[in-house]
């Protein structure tokens, strides 16, 4: 304790834990570690994408009080990705972070990849352009994961948790999502193999 009445007030800023202060829930966006992000994105076949957008908008709404509908923005991320990434960029600049984040270009990559992937899936369903339309969605899937990870890196830095340590542990719900997805994939492959065998 400092007994000098003329000394400036002291704060515990140097004792803050990762994730924006002492409470990660006070972050402006959704913090998650690299390992957890990639496991959840790829082992849920990209369905984590919707949850990721929803969580970011829900936390942003709670933090800023803006009148937005996180559920709708999570279901239709393609229409709101630019505004989310722009918000992350503003947060980085407010915190005077040196991390380079080209939010406009990254948002454009996400939108173009999403549209191309969706179009190729539709064509593939109708046996048009095979085998290219069968394989392009895989490249799109990988691209989307990498694109969102670039945004996640910027989010973690903006929230003063570069490694995402405040959200690095997998929960039972995470394992359930991944397990359910892998089970569906296994059953689908079994059905395909059985159909070929018949």
pLDDT of residue 27: 82
pLDDT at residue 173 is higher than 90? yes
Angle at 130 between CA 129 and CA 136, to 5 degrees: 85
Q: Does the pLDDT at position 16 exceed 50? A: no
| Dist. CA 177–CA 115, nearest whole Å | 25
Residue pLDDT, tens place only, 87-111:
999 999 998 888 899 999 999 999 9
> pLDDT at position 3, please?
52
Confidence of residue 8 (pLDDT cuts 50, 70, 90): very low
Mean pLDDT, range 52-66, rounded to an integer: 95
Percent residues over pLDDT 90 in the chain: 69
> Residues 156-165: what's their mean pLDDT?
96
How far is 125 from 54, CA to CA, in rounded Å? 29
Which of 58, 60, 37, 59 is closest to 49 using CA atoms? 37
pTM for the predicted model, two decimal places: 0.82
Q: If pLDDT is split at 50, 70 and 90, which confidence band does 197 have?
A: low
State mean pLDDT over 132-155.
94
The mean pLDDT of 157-164, rounded to a whole number, is 95
Amino acid 114: pLDDT: 96
Supply the pLDDT for residue 28.
92
Give Cβ neighbours of residue 18 (< 8 Å, ≥ 6 apart): 24, 31, 160, 161, 162, 163, 164, 165, 166
Tell me the pLDDT of the chain averaged across its residues.
Answer: 86
């Amino acid at each position: 304790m400092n007994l000098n009445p003329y000394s400036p007030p002291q704060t515990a800023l140097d004792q803050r834990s990762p994730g924006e202060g002492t409470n990660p829930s006070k972050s402006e966006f959704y913090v998650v570690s690299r390992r957890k992000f990639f496991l959840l994105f790829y082992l849920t076949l990209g369905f984590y994408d919707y949850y990721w957008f929803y969580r970011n908008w829900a936390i942003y709404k709670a933090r800023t009080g803006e009148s937005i509908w996180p559920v709708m923005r999570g279901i239709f991320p393609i229409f709101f990705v630019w505004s989310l990434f722009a918000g992350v960029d503003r947060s980085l600049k407010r915190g005077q972070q040196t991390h380079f984040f080209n939010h406009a270009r990254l948002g454009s990559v996400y939108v173009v990849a999403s549209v191309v992937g969706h179009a190729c899936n539709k064509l593939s369903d109708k046996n048009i352009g095979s085998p290219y339309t069968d394989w392009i969605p895989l490249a799109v899937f990988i691209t989307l994961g990498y694109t969102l990870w670039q945004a996640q890196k910027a989010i973690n830095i903006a929230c003063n948790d570069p490694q995402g340590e405040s959200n690095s542990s997998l929960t039972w719900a995470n394992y359930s999502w991944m397990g359910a997805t892998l089970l569906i994939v296994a059953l689908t492959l079994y059905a395909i193999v059985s159909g070929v065998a018949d």
